[in-house]
Chain A
Amino acid sequence: MMLEHILVLSAYLFSIGIYGLITSRNMVRALMCLELILNAVNINFLKGNIFSIFVIAIAAAEASIGSAIVSSIYRNRKSTRINQSTLLNK
């Protein structure tokens, strides 16, 4: 009973994370939904293998670089809307 419940919850968190990542207008909310996706994948590895620890370490590195990039984008352009990079649209 434990096995199926964890896998169903992992699939649910993955779907919610992808929904939030697609439909979020704020960049920091997209980062948070990315962390949701990574955690959903992490909980799919049952019994806490070695690979879960590697996924946690990679998620930490990616969260720090993502927040550094978001803060430098905010410093340059004064807003963090996702659909503001339209320089290639012409």
Chain B
Amino acid sequence: VLHTTRPLHTTQQSLAPVPPLPEKGGEVRHGLIPEEFFQFLYPKTGVTGPYMLGTGLLLYLLSKEIYVVNHETAAAACILTVIVYAIKKFGADVAAFADKLNEEKLATAVAMKNEAIQTLQTAIEEEKKEQWRAEGHSFLFDAKRNNIAMLLEANYRERLLMVYNEVKKRLDYQVAMQTLKRQKEQDYMIQWVEKNVIQSITPQQQKESVAKCILDLKALSKSAQAAV
């Protein structure tokens, strides 16, 4: 059941990023009593108040036997001495070791985060590069279009040439036919004229022409003899 009277998603609250841990914990005096207690008693009793309270309490407990002193008291005293000595001596080293462990964990996490950021950055740049390349596609297509236009043009011109050649061939043929016909008509006409002229020469005329030729030749020979 969802109570719709409650406003949803109005705050910035979210699980991440988690606020960092505080640097130091609450102040504790002598390892046992929080500082707030001393601050609480300070206005009324000053600095020595809590210590007087502690001493009085201790004496009261001992005298009234509310705290019984037995073998366990001695054991507790020895154990506490050893513990306090150990803490005073090795505390700093242990703290440094724990801090180092924490640092290593933090370093691996931060390294992972940085690596992820780095990979995403390179991915962004690659993407931008791809977009830039995609812009260049227009040039590619222009070049391809030019190529195709040139091919079409070349094809067109080739066919134009072919058409011209074919038409020229046909026209040359017609011209050749006409010249041939005229030549043949001319030859035939000449032949026919010659044939008719030769036919028209009668034998009588032939004899006369031969005699004339002989007379001419004689005259010529005389004139030639005279010249010599």
Q: Do A and B come together as binding partners?
A: no
| Chain A residues packing against B (C-beta within 8 Å) | none
